Amino acid sequence: MPTPTADATTSILTPAPPDLSTQIDLCWATNGRGGSGTTFHEFFPDAGAHLVFRHSPAGCRMVLIGPATERATIERDAGAEYLGIRFRAGQAPRFADVRSSELTDGCVEVTKIRGIPIESLAERLRALPDLGSRQRAFVNLVRDAAPPLVTDARCRRATLLLEAHGGRIRVDELAEELGLHRRSLERLFLDQFAMTPKRMARLVRLRNVLGALHTGAFATLAELAQACGYADQPHLIRDFKTLTDRLPGEKGAHRNRQVVRADTRIVHRYRP
C-alpha cells in the first residue's frame, strides 16, 4: 500500500498480533486530517490482499483489494483517516460475496464486518481516543470475521509454503509437498487466484526484495539476488524493472511514491 506522505499528521505501521501472524502480514494506519484534496500513489505488484477502511466526517468506504500482478495506482483522500491490513497471500477472509480469482487485479466493496455496517463501525472508531486504539480495534474485528476467501485448503497451504520459502521453492517441489501433480497444482492456482504458482512465487520474491532494499540488509545487488532466489544479479535487475518500472539500485526504489497523475491502471478510487 502507499506509504504515508507529508500531509499525514500521524501514521502507524505494525506487525500482526501473534495469534494472527499466519493470516496477517502487517497493519497500517494514516490520519491525514491536516490535508485536503486527492492524491495518487503507486501500488507495486503484490501477492497479498489489502483490507482498507477510509473514514472521515464526509463519509466512509471499505474495500478489499486483491493480489496485483502488475503496477497500479490508488487514489487517496488526503483529508481522511485510513486503516489497513495486509493479508498474506491466500489468507484473506471472505468479506464479500466474490470468488478469490475475481479479486486478482481488482477490488470489491465491503459493506459490513461481523454484521456491523461500516457506517456504525466508523462511529465506534471515532469514539476511541487515538489512531493507535482505532487501529487495534479494527484488527480485532478480523478475528473469526468470515470464512477464508480462498476455499481450497491446499491452495492456502501452498501460499503459506511460498511465503515461508520467500518464493524460492520450485513449482515441482511445491506440488510434491502438497501431494499433487504439477499440472493439478497449476489448475488449482488458476481457479483460485487467476495466476500460476510460478507467477505468485515471483510476486513473493519481489516483496522480499522490496523489504531488503528498505532495510538495507545487503551491501550489493549480487548478494541481494542470491539471498532472494534469483539466478544472478542481471536476473534480479530485469525482474525488478519489469514489475516496478525501476532499477533496484535507484535511491528509494522500494517506496510507493506519490505521482502527479495516474499513469497506470487505477485499482481503487476513494469514491465508488
| Domain-terminating residue out of 120, 149, 178 | 149
Q: Are residues 106 and 161 in the same domain?
A: no
Residue 8 has pLDDT above 70, yes or no: no
Burial letters 59-88, b for 16+ CB under 10 A, else e: ebbbbbbbbbbebbbbbbbbbbbbbbbbbb
Q: Are residues 124 and 18 in the same domain?
A: yes
Q: Are residues 97 and 32 in the same domain?
A: yes
Residues 6+ apart with CB under 8 A from 272: 61, 109
Residue 176 lies in a domain: yes
| Domain-terminating residue out of 149, 183, 212 | 149
Q: Are residues 27 and 106 in the same domain?
A: yes
Count of beta carbons in the 10 Å neighbourhood of residue 154: 17
Q: Are residues 21 and 92 in the same domain?
A: yes
Identify the pLDDT of residue 38.
Answer: 82
pLDDT band at 37 (very low <50, low <70, confident <90, very high): confident
pLDDT in tens, 61-77: 999 999 999 998 888 88
Residue 270 lies in a domain: no
- Length of the chain measured in residues: 272
Residue 253 lies in a domain: no
pLDDT in tens, 48-57: 999 999 998 8
Residue 32 lies in a domain: yes
Element (H, E) at 177: helix 171-178
Q: Are residues 16 and 131 in the same domain?
A: yes
Q: Are residues 145 and 160 in the same domain?
A: no
Distance CA 252, CA 234 (A): 19
Instruction: State CA 108 to chain mean position distance.
Output: 14
| Range in 115-129, 134-148, 224-238 the model is least confident about | 134-148
Strand partners, 72: 43
Residue 192 lies in a domain: yes
Tally of CA atoms within 13 A in the half-sphere of 158 that contains its CB: 31
Phi, psi of 165 (to 5 degrees): -95, 5
pLDDT in tens, 170-227: 999 999 999 999 999 999 999 999 999 999 999 999 999 999 999 998 989 999 999 9
pLDDT band at 2 (very low <50, low <70, confident <90, very high): very low
Kindly report the CATH number assigned to the domain that includes residue 212: 1.10.10.60
Q: Helix crossing, 197-215 with 153-164: angle to 10°?
A: 40
Q: Are residues 32 and 106 in the same domain?
A: yes
Rounded mean pLDDT of 102-127?
93
Q: Are residues 194 and 120 in the same domain?
A: no
Residue 112 lies in a domain: yes
Residue 159 has pLDDT above 70, yes or no: yes
Residue 257 lies in a domain: no
Q: Are residues 124 and 191 in the same domain?
A: no
Q: Are residues 65 and 169 in the same domain?
A: no
Element (H, E) at 192: helix 182-193
Identify the pLDDT of residue 7.
Answer: 42
Count how many domains the chain has. 2
Residue 114 lies in a domain: yes
* Average of per-residue pLDDT values in the chain: 89
Residue 35 has pLDDT above 80, yes or no: no
Q: Are residues 122 and 218 in the same domain?
A: no
Residue-range definition of the domain harbouring residue 192: 153-244
Closest CA to 111 of 152, 53, 65: 53
| Domain-terminating residue out of 117, 149, 181 | 149
| Range in 55-64, 88-97, 215-224, 255-264 the model is least confident about | 255-264
